[in-house]
Amino acid sequence: MNELIYFFNYVVVAGSVTGCIYAMGAIGVTLIYSILRFAHFAHADMMTLGTFVVLLLTLAFPHAGDALGLPTAIVMLPIAMAVTSLVAVGIDRAFYQPLRAHGVKPIVMVIASLGVTLMLQGLIRLFAGTGAQSLYVDARKEIFRIDLPGITRPIVVTEPQIILFAVTIVAVVGLHLFLTRARLGKAMRAMSDNPDLARASGINTRLIITLTWIIAGSLATLAGTLLSLDVAFKPDLSFFLLLPIFAAAIVGGVGHPYGAIAGGFLVGFAETLAVFNWSVLLRPLRDSLPTWLELPNNLALVGTEYKIVVPFFILVAVLIWRPTGIFKGKVI
Amino acid sequence: MPLLEAIDVHGGYGGMNILNGVDMAIEADEIGVIVGPNGAGKSTMLKAIFGLLTITQGEIRLRGEAITNLSPHKLVEMGMGFVPQEKNIFPSLSVEENLEMGAFLKPATASRLKRQIYEFFPPLFEKRRQPAGELSGGQRQMVAMGRALMNEPSVLLLDEPTAGLSPRYMNEIFERVKTINAAGVGVLMVEQNAKQALRIAHKGFVLAAGQNRFTDTGEALLNDPQVAKSFLGG
């Protein structure tokens, strides 16, 4: 039983955490692609930026969360989401909009977004330095250990993880309702389907573009912050997020928000399972194994430090064998 | 005063002129049909009216007001509806959502108009929850026209509404166009099925090489031996 709990802690919990983060990032990538028709490479840096805003606010008001019994970073989330969305819309107006007006090819937009990536990374490093910083400025992370009867090993879940699960569910359900019920949400899907006809129907496409950046920016802030709460804030966070969220968006089928969620969890769990030490699960069988077969101490497919190869592998495999992804999306 | 009027319109794509002086006018209760050989600039003329390409010379007027080179968005607000020939639906949206998008600027009237459209195109009511992309060609055309009607336009531009449809659907679409017109909507349409279209037309415009070759009532054009010989296949 201890081994199963170990599996639960290191695969189910860890995989879900990674899955939630990737899913929220991938939804942003997929929405931006469906509305603006380019792969937004600066998206992972949007996540770092959102987290950076949260860090600044938390440093400024370290005790803001005490009254509510929540980590200060969580209380600061709505403000940070608004700020990040504003910056995202500003970046669009300053860099992408003029290019769109010139009718450039999508690849030019992609290169421009790479430029934005470097710019954001530089700016964040300028202010936050290069080291890791905890988002718990003046408090400690709460860790819940749930003991099950008769088992020595407890289930371990941290407070940010629980908040992450709750926030992801709320965000996904909210987005679903918005896209299927709200007039603007439907218009967003319409514009993704057929932008010319959307314009010919009188849909204000500029408003839809602004809305896309707001949703993508908010989700990026949520995902980045909740990940950083669980580990720590690092300016190079985006480097480790970019590939997985693009893999997730492509696996799910670009242009499909639900595909992005599925893709996020698929990539998240694949990554977790690949670095999981399977030897632990096999340990109870050790006595019944033949003597010539010795159980190694570490039986992971790849070492933790090479985790990034997993989404890379998934990305290449999907692009070769099923470029439209699970839900038959667009081909980037 | 004509509902829609085009005076000596020149225009085209990227410096290449396709329209070399087109004149047309329809009254508020009329159906105007544009016919002519391939490459005559029929669809281009419709797109020029709807602000989808730049008019370099001449003028377009809606109820006497100049609307030359206004954006499609503005024209929709002014009561113009446009149904393109291709890509005229939102394929992944349901039929109902397609209609709602047509009423994007008038959400308050959406539910009343939706009921009217369903009465007008009964097959759409049965399929209202289905993605429009899964419908047959004729039904898609109904969705496309329904979408444009949801904005309660005073003038409707139709680009080859019967292209690729079976004769049964073709006649049905022509019947619908007549009904729409009878309800008080001016219609200007481009048609390949020239004879059938001219039969329902109050005014016909035969274009060739971006200019008017013949302009008359639909009936007169049908009976004109010269038009028949060169443009209606004898």
- At residue B233 the predicted structure's pLDDT band, cuts being 50, 70 and 90, is low
**Of A183, A196, A201, which to mutate for an interface test with B (greatest number of B Cβ within 10 Å)?**
A201
Angle between helices A106-128 and A237-252 (to 10 degrees): 150
Residue from the list B87, B97, B105 with its beta carbon closest to the beta carbon of A197: B87
- pLDDT band, residue A282 (cuts 50/70/90): confident
Say yes or no: B94 and B120 in one domain.
Answer: yes
Q: Region B116-140: what's the mean pLDDT?
A: 94
CATH architecture of A2-321: Orthogonal Bundle (1.10)
Judge whether residue A143 has pLDDT over 90: no
| A199 to B73: CB separation less than 8 angstroms, yes or no | yes
User: What tens digit of pLDDT does each residue of B29-87 get?
Assistant: 999 999 988 888 999 999 999 998 889 999 999 999 999 999 998 999 999 999 999 99
Give the total number of structural domains in chain B: 2
Tokens coding A278? 């399977």
Res. A331: pLDDT tops 70: no
Q: How confident is the model at residue B164 (pLDDT cuts 50, 70, 90)?
A: confident
Nearest CB to B101; choose among A187, A196, A204: A187
* Average pLDDT value over all residues in chain B: 91
At A136 the pLDDT is: 81
We report the CATH number of the domain holding residue B39 as 3.40.50.300
Nearest to B141 by CA among B159, B128, B153: B159
Residue A332 has pLDDT above 70, yes or no: no
Question: B168 to chain A, minimum CA–CA distance in Å?
Answer: 27
Assess whether B74 and B143 both reside in one domain.
no
B103 and B75 part of one domain: no
pLDDT tens digit sequence for B177-187: 999 999 999 99
CB-based contact (8 Å) between A328 and chain B? no
Give the end of a domain, one of B152, B186, B202: B152
Instruction: Check residue B159 and give its pLDDT.
Output: 95
Q: Which residues contact B143 (CB under 8 A, 6 or more apart)?
A: B89, B95, B98, B99, B124, B132, B135
pLDDT above 80: residue A238: yes
**Measured between CA atoms, how close is B129 to chain A, in angstroms?**
12
Q: How many beta carbons lie within 10 A of that of residue A63, not counting itself?
A: 12
Same domain, B74 and B95: no
Query: According to the model, what pLDDT value does residue A207 have?
Result: 95
In a domain? residue B167: no
Q: Is B205 helix (H, G, I), strand (E, B) or coil?
A: strand
pTM for this one? Answer: 0.90
Report pLDDT for B39: 84
pLDDT at A71: 87
- Segment B222-230 mean pLDDT: 84
Task: Tell me the average pLDDT of chain A.
Answer: 89
Interatomic CA distance for residues A214 and B35, integer angstroms: 47
Sort out which chain A residues have CB atoms less than 8 A from B87's CB and list them.
194, 196-197
Nearest 5°: CA angle at A138, between A132 and A139?
A: 95
Q: Are B186 and B27 in contact (CB under 8 A)?
A: yes
- Which residues in chain B touch residue A183, judged by CB atoms under 8 angstroms apart? 100, 104, 107
**Cα separation of A129 and A302, whole Å?**
31
Pairing mode, strands A143-146 and A155-158 = antiparallel
Q: Flag whether B168 is in a domain.
A: no
Residues B75 and B89 in one domain: no
Q: Number of A:B CB contacts under 8 A?
A: 59
Under DSSP, the state recorded for B41 is S
**Domain limits of chain A?**
2-321
* A209 interfacial to chain B (CB closer than 8 Å): no
pLDDT over threshold 60, residue A284 = yes
Residues B70 and B7 in one domain: yes
Query: Kind of pairing, strands B203-208 and B31-35?
Result: parallel
Residues B121 and B177 placed together within one structural domain of the fold? no
- Find the domain containing B226 and state its range: 1-79+155-162+173-234
Same domain assignment for residues B62 and B91 = no
Confidence tier at A193 by pLDDT (50, 70, 90): very high
Measured CA to CA, the distance from residue A223 to residue A211 in angstroms comes to 18
The pLDDT tens digits of the residues spanning B92-108 come to 999 999 999 999 999 99
